[in-house]
Amino acid sequence: MAESIDSSFILVGAEQSQVLPPPSRPPTVTSDGTFPSSISTPTSPIDSNVSSVGTLEPVHHPSVDPTYVAGSTSSYAHDWSRDTTGGIRTHGRHFIDAYGRVCNLRGVNLSGNCKTPVNDDHATFPAGAETVTFVGRPFPLDKAPQHLARLRRWGLTFVRFLITWEAVEHEGPGIYDVSYLSYLRSVLSLLPQYGLTAFVALHQDVWSRYAGGSGAPAWTLEHVGFDLHALEESGAAWLRGVCGGGYTKAERGLWPCGYQKLAASTMATCFWAGDVFAPKLRVRDGASIQRFLQDAFLDMWEAVARAVGDLDGVLGFEMMNEPHRGYVDLPSLHGFDYNTDLHLGDVPSAFQSFLLGTGHPTNVDHWTRSFPMPTRRTGKTLLNPQGRKAWREDGPTGGQDLWEMHGVWEWDDTKNIGKVLRESYFVNDPTTGRKIDWYTDFYYPFLKRWTERVRNAVSNGHGHEKLFFAEPIPNEFCPTSWTPEHQPPNMVFAPHWYDLRVLFDKAHGEFSVNVQAISRGVNPLKTFYWGHKGARDNFSTQIRSLVEAGYSSLGERPVIIGECGLPMDMNGRVAFKSDDWTWQRRMMDAMITALERASVGFTLWNYNPENDDTRGDDWNGENFSWFSNSRSAHAHDTKELDFGGRILDAVVRPYPTKTAGVPLSFEYEMATGAFAYSWAVPPLSSSSFPGATATATATTEGTGTTVQGEQQQQQRLTKGPSVRTPPLRGHPQLLARETEIFVPSQLTRGRRLIVNGLKAGDAYVYDEARQTLFILPVATATQTQTQTQTQTAEEQQSGQAVSVVHTVRVRFDPPLEGELPNDFWGDFAGPIGAVSVVLLALVAYYVLLERI
């Protein structure tokens, strides 16, 4: 057997990079099981007319040649380097390569440990904020080959690469860590050599580590006037989670509540809307706080873009992880929105936070976990009994609360109570009275500024080719106001998805609930699901709703689920002792199945090189990494690369990567390893039928090639865009016939891969060394042209276009012997039937008695 490409490490340093030559290719198999008479030498798929920097000029894939033999190129399915794709761009809802093939990007967040510095010290935090270093996050440079080779082996070659504002500019405004930027460039430069591509995402949670999360440097809070050493005691922030806590039952999952606390909410409000709501707050040079923070943020981003924007391995950028509006749009100072803001533990209202920050002990509501709603109010807690102030006397507010300084509230010394003066202060412009909308007035304009700044900062003049990823506020659907004039060029919609019940409870079992639907007013009885099949359907409903809301608001824009994952320490950490990861495996499978049904790419949260069973991800008690360093060995070959993976059979799975057509449906069964895939080859000419928008649907029933038109066209227009009926009209001309599917070698060792559904003349080849299944339909373009030309006059007049739909089924012999997914009727049909028979018998018995 040919040596796997995943055992070929690349040396880092002054020496030349060394890569093993392309592996030998197994023979092609035609649909009738015969072998071709000759096999061509593997060639590079890229023609010479593609520039080295990324000009996406039209190119032809070698597979357009009628004599081409399947799998003859030297590429592999999950290789996103420019050498094999010609560069990735967007078209409609899809990512496409230079040949017009649809690219299905999936991978990981790299990494959760990028939230904290290498020299993080829980015992002395928040001291030493100016001297932290993130050089070595996510891993030391000499460890990069092992980790990148592992991700390549697992088919997870699309990376959301995390950085933080603190990592770049921790020492002070305008002072950038050039060592970190140099390290960043070195790591990202390696990605194409492993087939990886990345978008660089600026991460933040709850504004900053110094407010209980991650992101902004400490000096941003100090410039607003906060005392870093008084934030927790005054109730302005919850910091135990960034100081090694968050693992106990009482502290579990508390950190997101920090968004509503004084420090994070004030910082977000000043950043987005300081000119409107905090105009009196000025920094030393007289600039407004909004201008100061935003200019510093943009300057920092420009430094990042200049450092890494020209790299082939950097596909694009994301401005900010999980942005939050702070107090903007808050209708009442006496409460937050239960549907979007987590209520758990001690949750002060905005007004109560103002009181606490000025040193007034205050009783606040205490919330505990519940069912079916995530939490409920169960009592009161007295916070800040010592009367500690969050504001520095030598700060820009002179020790006064910022919002008291702006007349939002005041303290009545006579009655010894606080009093709200402007209840709707954050709803309307305080000067004009105009209704404020956070998205339209603040987020969209700044997103545009950021995009322009980053595009212009990318060296070599190719900033226009970069993709720009953006997301809404967490737990919110895409706003309907996100219309084209508010969308940056090359925009990718990148929302996050987690199952909220599992996230809050850190538990998963047979019973699951669609909390997303409940929060939007759906009858709870319609949101309950049972079993593994039920979890798949539950998650599919949630993710489909999220994705289709994006299409409805944005139009045909690509969607990537930027974060999705599950806590590995769920169900009381039982798996760490028993090594039985059944529930984690079942939930991961249900989640990825849902993503596959929605036909979207994703980056899993998260691959953490430093995760271990004791500390987890070492941030706010989280343990989401399905790779554990404590369970891995120093990898030298392909097999050892799998060491440390916890639930690989659920994570590492087949998926279509480069499709010569438009994907329609994909379904994988983890228990057996079998999968089915359907895709459509769009009409050859996009101008044959003016006004038509071709669509196609496919099911896994039947095999072979079918022809379908736009019978669902009117239905799609009336019901809105659907993940099940992607538009076909207007797709770029396909310059390739070959479709590539990632099939992990873990499935094929000792088994025979069998492909059904091909018609006469179609061919396929599976190369285990490259973990790639190549599918080569015969003369697809000619077929499409023939079908188009043979339409009836009635079809042409009605504007219907036809497409060739391919469906293949892949199975293994012998099949995997996993546990098939269960559902309610499978588990309870027997008992329910037995009880029903008994009840019917009793009814019949009493009826007979009555007649006697």
pLDDT tens digits, one per residue of 146-165: 999 999 999 999 999 999 99
pLDDT tens digits, one per residue of 8-40: 433 232 222 223 233 344 445 544 433 333 333
pTM: 0.90
pLDDT of residue 828: 73
Q: Is 563 a catalytic residue?
A: yes
pLDDT of residue 633: 61
Active-site annotation holder among 563, 622, 669, 710 = 563
pLDDT of residue 805: 93
> Which segment, 235-239, 520-524, 783-787, is predicted with the most confidence on average?
235-239
pLDDT tens digits, one per residue of 543-591: 999 999 999 999 999 999 999 999 999 999 999 999 999 999 999 999 9
Higher pLDDT, 475 or 282: 282
User: What phi and psi values does residue 360 have, to the nearest 5 degrees?
Assistant: -100, 115
pLDDT at 689 over 80: no
d(CA 458, CA 50): 20
pLDDT at 92 over 60: yes
Active-site annotation holder among 322, 610, 622, 738 = 322
User: Which pLDDT band, with edges at 50, 70 and 90, does 128 fall under?
Assistant: very high
The one-character DSSP state at 764 is E
* 243-247 average pLDDT score: 93
> Which segment, 24-33, 41-50, 478-487, is predicted with the most confidence on average?
478-487
pLDDT of residue 692: 31
- Strands 763-767 and 662-668, by their bridges, are unpaired
Q: Is 610 a catalytic residue?
A: no
* Coil/strand/helix, residue 721: coil
pLDDT of residue 45: 54
The answer to whether 670 and 736 are in contact (CB under 8 A) is no
Q: Rg of the chain over CA atoms, in angstroms?
A: 28
3-state helix, strand, coil in the chain (%, to 5): 35, 20, 50
Higher pLDDT, 771 or 521: 771
d(CA 637, CA 814): 26
Characterise 399 by phi-psi region: left (phi > 0), alpha (psi -120 to 50), beta (else): left
The one-character DSSP state at 367 is E
HSE at residue 814, side-chain half, CA atoms within 13 A, is 4
pLDDT of residue 539: 97
* String of DSSP letters for 201-261: EE--BSSBGGGTSBSB-HHHHHHHTB-GGGTTTTTS---GGGGT---STTTTT-GGGGGGS
HSE at residue 68, side-chain half, CA atoms within 13 A, is 27
pLDDT of residue 705: 45
pLDDT at 373 over 50: yes
Q: How many residues does the chain have?
A: 852
pLDDT tens digits, one per residue of 579-637: 999 999 999 999 999 999 999 999 999 999 999 988 999 999 999 999 998 777 655 55
pLDDT of residue 339: 77
pLDDT of residue 459: 78
pLDDT tens digits, one per residue of 296-327: 999 999 999 999 999 999 999 999 999 999 99
User: Which pLDDT band, with edges at 50, 70 and 90, does 852 fall under?
Assistant: low
